[in-house]
Structures are given as C-alpha cells and as structure tokens.
Amino acid sequence: MQKTLFKMTMGLGIMVLAAVQVQAQTCAPREEIIKRLAETYGETRQGIGIARQGAVMEVYASTASGSWTITVTLPDGMTCLIASGQSYEDMAEALPPNV
C-alpha cells in the first residue's frame, strides 16, 4: 500500500511540474522573440532545422556570453522559447568513418 501511495504521489508531482513548465513557456510573434534575444542577450541564430508539422527549430547563442536559446516557430508565425542555458560552444565534429 505504501509503495502504491508513493508512486501516486510521485506521479502527481511530475504532472504538476510538467504543467508549470508548459505554463512558463513563452510564445510571441517571431519578430518580437528574435529582437529580445538579440537586444537582451546578444544572441544570434547559430543553427536551424525543420521539425514536425512544418515547425522550424532554431538555436540562438551569444559567443561573447555563452548564453543559448532553442526556439520553435509554428507555421502561424508564433515562436516559443523551448530551452535556454549557458556555456554554449560552437563545434564542428568530423563524421565517423564508414564502417
């Protein structure tokens, strides 16, 4: 019984944490997000990729401060901040040899 109660409590805690993270996610028109990243953090686009359903994933970073941000822009033009952090490093690793 205690194990079941513990699992239910942990599950509820994880769901609450996930809800808080979703609520904290910032979305705005792309132009506003890009301007704020540039002016506030000195970040510029360092990488780009196509995600599901026509969304565009971009990585912005500042080589001066090391801050970085991952955004996703939806087809309707809204951009959401997905993750951010510090200690960004630009890397260009060679592909592994064909085996």
| Residue 76 confidence (pLDDT) | 93
Output the pTM of the full model.
Answer: 0.69
The tens digit of pLDDT for each residue in 57-81 reads 999 999 999 999 999 999 999 999 9
How far is residue 68's CA from residue 62's CA, in Å, rounded to a whole number? 6
pLDDT 10s digits, 7-39: 444 444 444 444 444 445 689 999 999 999 999
Tokens 């904290």 belong to: 24
Give buried/exposed letters for 4-28 (b at 16+ CB in 10 A, else e): eeeeeeeeeeeeeeeeeeeeeeeee
Q: Strand (E) positions, the chain? A: 27-29, 44-50, 56-61, 68-73, 78-85
State phi, psi for 71 to the nearest 5 degrees: -120, 155
